[in-house]
């Protein structure tokens, strides 16, 4: 039977020599050894290499591949496949939300450039997690654990500020993260204190493009503009506003933040 050196075998199967060496170290691919000590492969090894590639492409780890190839009957294999399927469904939902995030950026762009950059509507419910107040992070181990998890979901989680327009610009602004409730529930994202649930409500929605200077939130000018709209429309503010940071860009030598602002109204 013809013998193939590791480089030749890798080229025939569309893998790299390092791939074969890695799974050899895992004890899953065992090459033959010639009298001169050189390792070689034969056509009979093809099936095992292909099986490693198949399971790797399904998302199984090296340890799981070893288990499947050395210690799994058909029912056990099905159990592992079904567990992997559930993980894939979560990944698919995550990718769908990433696509939604990009679509939302595209659809909102005209609103940031418009002269009349506000509307009234019903905003969907979400979870909000405060990470800091003013310039100080919360000194709370529970908050630290939540922060580490929620950060892994960026950009589905959104950098969010919370401030009450009724209190004026000198208040201590709260910064944190928010995440859509349906996504968080479907993905099993941890939502424990200090994270809170914010129900859907009637809101005054602003799209704000703002040059970044000393602070992320130029609250004085921004609050003045928002109050003017509230007073002109004879609206009643029912709670704090949430500032969802969509993106930050560098344009014409200046840095800008694009944010959508929700203010609950009666």
Render the burial of 136-171: b for 16+ CB within 10 Å, e for the rest.
eebeeeebeebbeebeebeebbbbbbbbebeeeeee
Element (H, E) at 122: strand 118-123
Cα 56 to Cα 113: distance, rounded to the nearest angstrom: 47
CATH code, residues 6-71: 1.10.1660.10
Nearest to 227 by CA among 174, 243, 257, 219: 219
Identify the CA nearest to 227 among candidates 163, 166, 162. Answer: 166
User: What H or E segment, with its residue span, contains residue 183?
Assistant: helix 181-187
Question: In 3-state terms, what secondary structure has residue 161?
Answer: strand
- Domain residue spans of the chain: 6-71, 107-264
Q: Which residues contact 70 (CB under 8 A, 6 or more apart)?
A: 28
Please list the pLDDT of the chain residue by residue as tens digits (266 residues): 788 999 999 999 999 999 999 999 988 898 988 888 888 999 988 999 999 999 999 999 999 999 999 999 999 999 999 999 999 998 998 999 999 989 988 998 888 877 678 899 999 999 999 999 888 999 999 999 999 999 999 999 999 999 998 876 677 889 999 999 999 998 899 999 999 999 999 999 999 888 876 454 556 677 788 888 889 999 999 999 999 999 989 888 888 889 999 999 99
> What class is the 107-264 domain?
alpha beta
Helices (H), 114-154: 141-151
pTM score of the predicted model:
0.77
Separation of alpha carbons 19 and 4, rounded Å: 16
């Amino acid at each position: 039977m013809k013998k193939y050196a590791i480089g030749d075998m890798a080229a025939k199967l569309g893998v790299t020599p390092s791939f074969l060496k890695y799974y050899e170290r895992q004890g899953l691919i065992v090459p033959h050894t010639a009298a001169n000590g050189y390792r070689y492969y034969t056509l009979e090894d093809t099936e095992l290499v292909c099986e490693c590639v198949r399971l790797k492409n399904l998302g199984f780890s090296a340890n799981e591949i070893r288990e499947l190839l050395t210690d799994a009957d058909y029912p056990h294999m099905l159990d592992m496949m079904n567990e992997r399927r559930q993980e894939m469904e979560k990944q698919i939902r995550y990718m769908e939300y990433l696509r939604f995030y990009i679509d939302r950026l595209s659809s909102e762009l005209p609103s940031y450039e418009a002269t009349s950059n506000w509307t009234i509507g019903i905003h969907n419910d979400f979870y909000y997690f405060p990470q800091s107040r003013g310039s100080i992070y919360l000194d709370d181990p529970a908050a630290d654990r939540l922060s580490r998890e929620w950060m892994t979901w960026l950009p589905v989680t959104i950098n969010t500020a919370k401030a009450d327009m009724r209190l004026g610009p000198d208040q201590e602004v709260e910064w944190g993260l928010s995440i859509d409730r349906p996504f968080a529930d479907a993905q099993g994202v941890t939502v424990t204190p200090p994270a809170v649930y914010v129900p859907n409500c009637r809101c005054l929605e602003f799209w704000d493009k703002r040059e970044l200077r000393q602070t992320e939130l130029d609250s004085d000018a921004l609050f003045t503009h928002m109050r003017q709209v509230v007073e002109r429309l004879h609206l009643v503010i029912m709670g704090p506003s949430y500032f969802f940071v969509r993106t930050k860009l560098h344009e014409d030598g200046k840095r800008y933040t694009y944010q959508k602002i929700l203010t609950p109204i009666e």
